[in-house]
Every structure is written in structure tokens, then in C-alpha cells.
Structure 1
Amino acid sequence: MKKMLFSALAAALVLTACGPKQQSAEAPAEEATGRIEASDIAIVSPEAVLAQSDLYKTEGAALQEKTQKAQKSWAQREQNLQAEAAQLQEKYQKGLITTSDAQAQQKRIEQRAASFQSSAQKEAQKLDEENFVFTNRAQDLLQRAIREVNSDKRYKLIVNASALIDADSTLDISQSVLAKVNELYAADKKQIEK
């Protein structure tokens, strides 16, 4: 009887010992399917893509130039008003004009300055809105391009390259995204022209 009990206990131990090993061998296989491999990762440099895109080369550069011209114009007009006010002050201090004339001219300069500030604010708001729309269009193109480049779900993770410290250059899909951005921009432009 002891031999039979001992044999049954030994068989139970062998089965118990084999059971978890089979389960643990299956568990890593299940975990591995949820893991991300190097071939599942891609990086994109959005700033570089957008800076090289046809959208930026045409519309973005023009908008940037328009903004710079407006800023130069505002600075010049402000300098002119300041110079005029300084000349008026100098004339008054030298006694070349009467107090009432100085006050009248000062009032006209202040009115022109207020008018300038009002028009500059309106122009700045318009430029801000144009920049906002441009930025949204660029981001939309970029997102659509990334979705199309990854339409086959080849990449499980696409990371902004500017957030990386170091990465293998083979993971960079920026050129593919740039090509797709340009393709989508051309398609959008044709559709608008129709």
C-alpha cells in the first residue's frame, strides 16, 4: 500500500511540476505578441517635414515674408511718429512755436499714433489668424500623411523625433511622410482650383 501511495504521490508531483512549465512557456509567447519590436517603431521629424514641404515653400514662405514686411512697416511708422514728437518737443523748448501750436500739433501726433495702433492691431490680428489657419492646415496635412504612410499598420508606434535623444536613422520615415505631405498638398490644391 505504501508503494502505491508513494507512486501516486510521485506521479502527482511530476504532473504538477510539468504543468506550470508548460503554462509559463505559453505565457511569454502571449506577452511577446503585445511587445513592440524595433521594426514596429518609426520616428518622424515634423518640423523638418513641414519646412521642406511644398506647402511651406509656397504659402508658408509667402506668409512669413508678409509678416516680416508688416513688422518692418510698423517699426518704421512708430519711429517716424517718435521722431516727429521729438522734433516738436525740440521746437517748443527752443521757443520756435507757441504753446497753443505745440499742443495742437501734439494732439494731431497723438491722434495719428492712436490710429496707427488701431490699424496695426487689426493687421496683427489678421496675420495671427492667417498663421493659425496655416499652422492648422500644415498639422492636418502632416497627420493625414502619417496615417496614409502607416495605413498598413506596419508601425505600432510613431514618435516625434524632436523628443528623442538618440535613435537609429533607419527608423526615420520623415522622407516618406514628406513625399506624402507634398502629394496630399498637390491633391488639395487641385481640388480647390476646381
Structure 2
Amino acid sequence: MKKFLFTALLAGFACAACNEKPAAATEAEEVQSVSGSDLAYVNPEYVLAQSDLFQTEGKALQEKTEKAQQSWAKKQQGLQYEANQLTEKYQKGLITSFDAQKQQEALQRRAANLESSVQKEGQTLEEENFVFTNRGRDLLLRAVKEVNADGRYRMVVNTSALIDADSTLDISDAVLKVVNKLYAAEKEGK
């Protein structure tokens, strides 16, 4: 009985081996089955930077962030200037140590309030940037799916991982048009 099972098992492996193609032949067929027209790539940075979303909302968010950072820096410089003036007055003997201490405590409270304010504004700006980035990514993915709705591309690659490719495989401009179309539809729906 054991001999029969062993023989049947060997015969089964032999039949399976006869039906299998060599690994090199299988890989060569797989490589040949993917042609240039099955592949495409998208430069998401280009698409998003040129999109109407970035040209309107992205630049506005960027300007808002820059203004906030400049405002924070100006306020911090002002507090630093006041602290330097206070130190100078005390060192020259123009104010008492009691008055210097009171003014120093007031400056510390204002600095703490500024830091708290900067953190809150920073978190708000960070959240707005996160939402903006997610909206851009969502538009990009939806646009790629729409461009490839007919399934002509078996693979669409992000250019950040691309080393070299034929420029005819670049579908970034087509994706950009769809991103702008989707963004316009999104704006009308609001």
C-alpha cells in the first residue's frame, strides 16, 4: 500500500512537471505581455503645482502661512527688544530691582501667551495644510482613475520612483486637465 501511494505521488509530480514551463520561459512571456502602451507615468508634483486648486487655494494658504510666520517673528523680536531694554535699564540703575522683576514677570507672561497663540495658530494652519494636501491627493487619484477608465494602462507609476522613461508614457497633462475639471465641479457643488 505504501509503495502504491509513493508511486502515485511520484507519477503525480512527474505529470505536473511536464505541464509546467521552465521558469525562464514564463518570465520572458510575462515581460513580453507587458508592452509600452500598458504603462504610463504621472508627475504628481507637476500636476498639483499647475492645478487650479493650487493656483487659488494653495497659494492663498501659502501666503497665509508666511504672513503668520512673519507676524510671530515680529512679535518675538519685539519681546526680545523689550527684554534687552529692561536689562539695560536695570544695569544702568535706572529702575529698581523690584520694578525690574515686575516688568520681567510681565514680559514672561506675554512671552507665554505669545507661545500659546503661536501653537494654536500653527496647529490650525497645519490642519488646513493637511486638508489641502488630502484634497489634492484625492483629486489626483480620481483623475488618474478617470484617465484610465478604459483600462488601457495596466500600470501607472509615480515619477518619484522613476529613473528613466520615454516621455510618450507621461500622462501628467491629461491628468492635470481632469484634476482641473474635478476641482471646478467641486467648487460648483459647494
What TM-score, normalized to structure 2?
0.84
Secondary structure of 2:179's counterpart equals helix
Assess, with a 3 A threshold, how the Cα gap between structure 1 residues 95 and 39 changes in structure 2: closer, same or farther. Answer: same
Residue of structure 2 in register with 1:150 after alignment: 148
Are residue 111 (structure 1) and residue 109 (structure 2) matched? yes
Unaligned runs of 5+ in 1: 1-19
Residue of structure 1 in register with 2:50 after alignment: 52
- CA offset digits 1:28-82 (Å, max 9, x no partner): 7xx4598311110001000000000000000000000000000011111001101
Give the C-alpha shift of residue 164 in structure 1.
1.4
Give the C-alpha shift of residue 169 in structure 1.
0.6
Residue of structure 2 in register with 1:163 after alignment: 161
How many residues align? The count is: 168
Residue of structure 1 in register with 2:60 after alignment: 62
Percent of aligned pairs with the same amino acid: 63
What TM-score, normalized to structure 1?
0.82
Give the C-alpha shift of residue 163 in structure 1.
1.6
Aligned mates of 2:39, 2:30 — CA distance in 1 = 15
- CA offset digits 1:91-125 (Å, max 9, x no partner): 00010100010001001100100000001100000
Matched residue type, 2:91: Q
Residue of structure 2 in register with 1:186 after alignment: 184
> Pairwise mapping of residues 74-113 of structure 1 onto structure 2 (< 5 A)?
74-113=72-111
Larger Rg: 1
Give the C-alpha shift of residue 162 in structure 1.
2.3
Residue of structure 2 in register with 1:5 after alignment: none
Aligned mates of 2:106, 2:30 — CA distance in 1 = 78
